[in-house]
Amino acid sequence: MCKSGLMNGGPYVGLNLGITMIPDEKDVTKVLGTLSSLLSLDYEPVGRWFEAHHRRAHSLHSHSHHSLDSSSSESEEEAEEDQFDDEDESLLLRLDPKEWKKQDHYAVLGLSKLRYRASEDQIKRAYKLKVLTHHPDKRKARGKVVKDGEDDYFTCITKAYEILGNKQKRRSFDSVDPEFEDSIPSSTKENFFEVFGPAFDRNSRWSIKKRVPKLGDENTPFEDVNNFYSFWYEFESWREFSYLDEEEKELGENREERRWIEKQNKAARQKLKREEMVRLRQLVDNAYTCDPRILKFKEEEKERKNAVKRAKQEAARLRQEEEDKKRNEILEAERKKREKEEEIAKAQAMLAKKEKDAFKKQLKKERKTLRGFMKDLDYFAENDNDRITMMQNLDKLLELLTLPHLQELNESLSKDKANGKNSFMQKLKVVNDQIDEEKRQHLELTQQKSSGDHHSVGKSWSELEIQTLIKGVNLFPAGTQDRWEVIANFITQHVPGNNKNAKDVLSKAKELQKNDVKLREEVKKNAFSQYEQSHKAAKSGDMDKPSERLESVGEQQVRETGTNPAPWTADEQKLLEQALKSFPASEADRWDKIASVVSSRSKKDCMKRYKELCELVKAKKQAQTAVAAKNKKS
């Protein structure tokens, strides 16, 4: 290939001619190209060549000892035949050809060592060896006595090969292999891997899937352990029990008998299949129960869940503390705001009280002055009867005239006592006219109410019924199903002896809607009067002291009973609802805390309002339920 060249500074042998080339002095070395980079290729050692190399390496033999010619094949066959059983003629002589189904076919052919691992070729060679030795003709040639017909044990050898040489029949026999150990290890935590590892290896031969995971050891990761138990809990076995069929279907005389035999055999196979699956499941359950890795993983999982739970609890605690902090800040801000408002209200009350006291003092002074003027002028009377009349008129003016009018009258009397009677009589006339106007308006209102009662459906309405009607209209707004029947039922529940129906309620509601607002105000005033009478509250006109006469009934009620009879405002209602949510029923001193939030109401007011709201909701549900039941019956 090359005429000349250098290699390691010396001559080299030509590849094509096999002669030594000595370079001349004129030869020149040239670089014609560069070599490509080295490639790394992976090869899997398989085939007869690798097998021969493996045998030479392990037996320390030379190449000549294991050549790849026919002698090598013969030596391989001899090595495989070493795995066959030793000849045991006594075993064959004990065989009963009629009981062939109970015999061990592998032992008959001398394959007890290999059993289900024996290849088809090994089965054929084992059968050939048995034929050469135990065929009746061979035995006769050796001078042995041979039975005629099917009673000869050679029939068992032929039957064994007939079954093991057929894939389907061999599979059926392997399923009931008499040498297979069906026992299940009991639950034990000692030597777990040494006890359960061989058991799983034995039973893995029945798997339809070829790649069966191993049990592993104590260092196997969780994912592999999980895959192992998932595989075995979903294990699919090819093991079937047709070999144990008591009767053969082909022996049936007709189709019906063959079908019956097949049905009986199928039922027996299914029963054995279920027992097999129960056995395998028991094996997996026992292993899973006492597997130290599963116990370890469960403990770790439990600890992880507890850590997550503790983290959630800690986060919830911090969140609750933050909410409590914000709520306390809000409550503190509200408390400070309330205290500030109370201070302002207190200052305003003090100022109002001073103004009120000054007003009372000035009013008392003007009344005293007017009495002095009238006494000095002898009440503008000429006789005792006139004097008594004028004194009564004076008392009326002193009671009804305001402070500016009293000052005006006193000023006119002080300036011109001669015309003082005219000024006095003018003021008296104004007061009498006001009284007459009030009486007239009251009479008109009474007449209007009487005429309104005339137009009702012939049924009188009491004050309690009207109040309950107004409550029902507010409680059941427009859009409520069977609204007027529900309101009529609501009135019946809260007013004993009520006989108003839906038509009466609708008529009265329209009447109240047409009337002036004064009518509803009058109803509210009458209700408040009843409330005063029920609580025995004294009226302002019956009090002796002027300060008590000027004090409102609500203020007196708060002072005497600790309650505020005034209607609840929207702001108070909102504060009450918020406080009910903030302070649950399980909290101590709940109502004291609620009353501290609703500053304008006492603890008793808050509890009473809560009961009223509960009763309203309950009454609303009862009224709607009653009407629904009535409609259902009709």
Nearest CA-CA partner of 604 in 551, 558, 546, 550 = 558
**DSSP code, position 254:** S
Q: Which residue in this structure is represented by tokens 């006109």?
A: 541
Question: To which H or E segment does residue 3 belong?
Answer: none
- The three-point CA angle 389-395-400 to 5° equals 125
Averaged pLDDT, 263-280: 88
Q: In the predicted model, what is the mean pLDDT of the chain? A: 77
Length of the chain: 634
Q: Which amino acid is at 377?
A: L
Q: pLDDT tens across 300-336, in order?
A: 889 999 999 999 999 999 999 999 999 999 999 999 9
CA distance 612 to 609: 5
Q: Tell me the Ramachandran region of residue 477: left when phi exceeds 0, alpha when psi lies from -120 to 50, beta otherwise.
A: beta
Q: Tokens 């002080």: give the residue.
A: 414
Triad 223, 228, 233: Cα angle to 5°: 125
- For helices 120-134 and 70-81, angle between their N-to-C axes, nearest 10 degrees: 80
Looking at mean pLDDT, say which of 319-328, 568-577, 610-619 comes out highest: 319-328
- The per-residue pLDDT for 551 is 39
**One-letter amino acid of 251:** L
457 band by pLDDT with thresholds 50, 70 and 90: very low
Residue 456 has pLDDT above 50, yes or no: no
- DSSP for 231-251 reads HHHT--B----GGG-SS-GGG
Token digits for 226? 């999980």
CA–centroid distance for 97 within its chain: 71
How far apart CA 7 and CA 321 sit, in angstroms, is 88
Q: What are phi and psi of 209, to 5 degrees?
A: -80, 135
According to the 3-state scheme, what is the secondary structure of 584-599? CCCCCCHHHHHHHHCC
Q: Looking at residue 475, what is its pLDDT?
A: 75
Tokens coding 528: 């408040």
Which residue bears the tokens 């009487």? 450
The residue among 472, 453, 471 whose CA lies nearest residue 462 is 453
**Longest CA pairwise span in the chain (Å):** 187
Q: Is 162 exposed, middle or buried (0-12, 13-18, 19+ CB in 10 A)?
A: middle
59-101 confidence digits (pLDDT tens): 555 454 444 444 444 555 555 555 777 777 778 878 888 888 8
Task: Classify burial at 169, counting beta carbons within 10 Å of its beta carbon; exposed 0-12, middle 13-18, buried 19 or more.
Answer: middle
pLDDT higher for 457 or 565?
565
Q: Which two tokens stand for residue 500?
A: 């108003």
Report the DSSP beta bridge partners of residue 188: none
| Angle between helix 292-376 and 222-233 (nearest 10) | 100
- Six token digits for residue 278: 């129960």
> Which are the contacts of 398, defined by CB distance < 8 A and separation ≥ 6?
367, 370, 371, 406
Structure letter (DSSP) for residue 562? S
Kindly report, residue by residue over 436-450, the tens digit of the pLDDT: 887 887 787 777 666
pLDDT in tens, 126-172: 999 888 888 888 888 888 877 776 678 888 888 989 999 989 888 88
Decide which of 196 and 600 is more confident.
196
What's the CA gap between 594 and 607, in Å, rounded?
Answer: 9
Strand-pairing partners, residue 207, are: 237
Higher pLDDT: 525 or 41? It is: 41
Q: Is the confidence at residue 608, as pLDDT, over 80?
A: yes
**Residue in 465, 498, 503, 471 with CA at minimum distance from that of residue 619:** 471
Nearest to 457 by CA among 518, 516, 499: 499
Per-residue pLDDT tens digits for 480-514: 777 888 888 888 888 877 778 888 888 888 887 77
Q: What is the pLDDT of residues 341-396, one digit of tens each?
A: 999 999 998 998 888 888 888 888 888 888 888 888 888 877 878 878 888 888 88
- Window from 114-123, 155-164, 182-191 with minimum mean pLDDT: 182-191
